[in-house]
Chains A and B, each alone.
Chain A
Amino acid sequence: MPLRLTVDIEKVLSDFLRTHPDLTGLQTRFVGKTPDSTGTSWVRVTRIDGNQTDPADHLTSFLVQLDCYAGKTGGQPEANTVARHVRAAIVALAGSALDGAVIGATRIVGDLRAPDNEFGTPPRDRVILTVEIWAHA
């Protein structure tokens, strides 16, 4: 009997956001780790949690963090713009079928503007979105 794998939510979400028609104009990169080049905006997608909700492990309750970083010159306006677009896209995602997943409910759990001090002075503007996504393969 073949193994039942859960959704690769990081890949599904990144692919969805990267090709979303309302986001491509932002020229934001959707990545799994901080890119080598940080000159233009990027969103780092990290799965924080993935709870089993039924004995068959069919439906998973994922918690995903999306770090929406501004580029070198974009500042707070760019970080906010990227985050607002990503947030809207995820809210609209509920009830959709994507390549690799069927999305049930989505919920924005947190939306925090917290510049990243590890870039030195000035800190790099960043908005941290925490989203809950229910999905199955």
Chain B
Amino acid sequence: MGRFRPNPRFAEQQRRDPRFRRGLAEAVEPARRNADAMARAAHAPWMPKPGSGTTDVVETVTTATGVRLTIRHYDGHLVEFGSKNNPPYAPLRRGVRAAGLRLDETPK
């Protein structure tokens, strides 16, 4: 009779599997589209990154261990969190919620 041996590295191995990351990227695409539309509604980008052209404001970045939504320009932190003179437009946080996903912040 077989015996079940738990794999303590299962979650880490899953995260590193390219198929898993591709699936994650597909799953976050609605959130990315929402966030991009919300950023543009706030007239972002305010400080465009040179060479970015007219591509999306919010992009999906696949890393070795997961997938991130990122505002690609220099003003990302201002657009998202605001400042002394700017309200927080929060396109990333609102975009995630509008896609029906649970929001937890883990900024980098």
Contact = CB atoms under 8 A, between A and B. Distances in A.
Interface residues of A, number: 22
Given A48-B90, A63-B103, A112 B82 contact: no
Interface string B61-93: 000000000000000010001111111101001
| Interface SS, B side | loop
A124 interface: yes
Given A48-B94, A49-B94, A63-B97, A130 B85 contact: no
Given A109-B104, A109-B105, A110-B105, A34 B84 contact: yes
Contacts of A38: 84
A117 B84 CA distance: 9
Contacts of A109: 93, 103-105
Interface of B: 77, 81-88, 90, 93-94, 97, 103-105, 107
Given A65-B82, A114-B81, A116-B84, 20 more contacts: A46-B87, A48-B90, A48-B94, A63-B90, A63-B93, A63-B97, A67-B82, A109-B104, A109-B105, A111-B105, A112-B107, A116-B83, A118-B83, A118-B85, A119-B84, A124-B84, A128-B81, A130-B93, A130-B103, A132-B103
